[in-house]
Amino acid sequence: MCYTTSDDWVAPITAAIIHKLRYSHEDVARALILVENDVRVTQYLECFEKLGKHTDLRVWGAFPGPPVLKQKENIYFGTDVVIATSKGLNNLLNIEGFNSASVQTLVVDRADQLMKVGVTGYTQRIADSIPEKQRVIISPPAVKGVQTYMDKYAFPFISMDQVSEDNELAE
């Protein structure tokens, strides 16, 4: 499968996004997954490649390292799913390399890890630029920093520990 541990959400999130989007559509991203580092970007890209063979969805990653103009070219002119670090996507936003107007789903993966790498400002800027559609935050239950962050900014996020308690994912 696409994940390495029982508490890893890579495969379920990938499958849910593939199911929701189904096929490529226009030139703008419809799903955004924020992750803590380039290793996690690669894990998601590999999982989309494995699970998405039957679709024509266009999936790209963005993170510091590769030339930002090349990433802009790949993402801005035709992608359905963007998997990015907060800093990498922020770099694209700075050069108008990411159109967030059509994003339907925002997933913040391992929010507790994102808090540790100190990218709260980048994550907030990105969340503010995304239409208020479906937002999912993945974090271990009862992580104080994540809950405080969600409370402070009053995001309309669905917490995955809520899903475990309720056994359903409401939109």
pLDDT (0 to 100) of residue 83: 96
Q: What is the CATH topology of the domain spanning 10-160?
A: Rossmann fold (3.40.50)
Tokens 């997933």, located at residue? 107
Mean pLDDT, rounded, of the chain: 81
In the chain, domain spans: 10-160
Helix/strand/coil (H/E/C) assignment for every residue in the chain: CCCCCCCCCHHHHHHHHHHHHCCCCCCCCCEEEEECCHHHHHHHHHHHHHHCCCCCCCEEEECCCCCHHHHHHHHHCCCCEEEEEHHHHHHHHHCCCCCCCCCCEEEECCHHHHHHCCCHHHHHHHHHHCCCCEEEECCCCCCHHHHHHHHHHCCCCEEHHHHHHHCCCCC
What confidence category does residue 151 fall into, taking pLDDT thresholds of 50, 70 and 90?
Answer: low
Residue 17 pLDDT more than 80? yes
pLDDT digits (tens, 9 = 90+) for 37-86: 999 999 999 999 999 999 999 999 999 888 888 888 888 878 999 999 99
Residue 122 pLDDT more than 90? no
What confidence category does residue 161 fall into, taking pLDDT thresholds of 50, 70 and 90?
Answer: low
